[in-house]
Amino acid sequence: MTKVNNLVLADLVAVCASLVVAVLLRGTVSTTHALQVISLIYILFAPITLSLYYVFGCYDPKPFSNKIDWLYTLINIVIAQAINAMGLVIIFYIGSDLLVVTPKTILLTQSVLAVLFLFANRMVFSLQRSKKYHATIAIYTDTQKAEELKKTITDQFSDTYTVLIHPNIENVRTEDILIYDTAYSLPQQTLTALRSLVFSGVQVMSYDAFYEKMFKKVSISSVTDEWFLLNVFAGKNSFYDILKRLFDIALALLLLPIYILSIPFVWLAIKLEDGGPVWITQERVGKKNTKITIYKYRSMTDNQQGKWAHEGEQRITRVGAIIRALRIDELPQLINIIQGTISFIGPRPDLTGLYERCLAEIPFYESRVIIQPGLTGWAQTTQAVVPQSIEETRDRLAYDLYYIKNKSFVLDLVITLKTVRTILKKIFK
């Protein structure tokens, strides 16, 4: 994560540098005021610029092991920068009377330089990654949790980390990472030794904090009643909830015309394929275990509820495959968002039958309905698979609890960008 943050910072410097060089290459700018206006517009537009880079995968961890990887990265940068340039064109040329400046040459030169500088950043970071980084993770917790964490880290990061369970304190080096589980009792002498390591520069983290930082989900084995009381807040009318609700209404109203325009096309496509119903309703579980009705375009041959896809005889129609890939089948849920039964972002509401099954088999499963469910969420954009079993649903709960524990405007923005990115990937696939 630190390397990604460093790359974002390097890209921000690259964008600013490309502007400075473009101005210098231009030779002269008519007035100091014009230069100030150009710089201000670029600074204000920087968050959108970086968001575009993220959406188009410019911050994906890639091995860059062949020319195809590099070509793919260059194409992503060019597309993101082209969209960014179009946005700046709109600002400069539509607002030309107010801004009194239309920097055609500077804008074109800056865009080309930005692509070159961003690509150079990735070459530098790739060279840094090629230098073998290796660290030891020392774990102090009960044997079962330690073995589970060791296996997970070894499976995913075997080239980066060596995991040791309860190593001799004297062998811990300053470059190592020490994981201590506060729920695990250690002798006072060991605790004192661990504390002294902090002053020696050793990175000491709690088991839960390390797990969340490494895997972007909570450790289900750590979830207890005490954990729930300490980490889950369900207060009413908080500033965050009020602003989120206003954002939901505003964005739903903004997207509503797209839904309305889609109706005749989707209606015609579905009717031509099988003549069945265009819309379906599903009973799902909303906030605090309330029953809610969700609206969707029909994308399957039936509306079987209470089962995972592989358990029934549901078949995705040809039209359904297209509208599901583009998320068009979710557009009717804008009505649900305006009604307030769901939000844009939150844990995906379960079908009633599936919720009852999972509730009976997964501890603390009811905790995911403590907040408003969402059209998209952290689990939907981060988990590698769509849950189709109890075990996969238990893993989804780990992501949902991560969101519930850490929900914020920043995390909501990340989820929004990841959702846009997922849709674009499916469009261009």
CA distance 426 to 330: 15
Task: Give the confidence band of 26 by pLDDT, cuts at 50, 70, 90.
Answer: low
Q: What is the pLDDT of residue 32?
A: 58
pLDDT in tens, 271-318: 998 888 999 999 999 998 999 999 999 988 866 666 666 655 567 888
Average pLDDT over every residue of 359-383? 92
Assign 349 a pLDDT band (cuts: 50, 70, 90): very high
Residue 395 CA neighbour count, 13 Å, CB half? 13
Task: Return all residues near 275 (Cβ < 8 A) that are at least 6 apart.
Answer: none
* Dihedral, 169, 170, 173, 179 alpha carbons, nearest 10: 0
Confidence of residue 103 (pLDDT cuts 50, 70, 90): low
Whether 181 and 207 have beta carbons less than 8 Å apart is answered as yes
The pLDDT value recorded for residue 17 is 83
Domains of the chain: 2-130 (no CATH), 135-215 (3.40.50.10190), 239-428 (no CATH)
pTM > 0.75: yes or no: yes
**Euclidean distance between CA atoms 344 and 247, whole angstroms:** 9
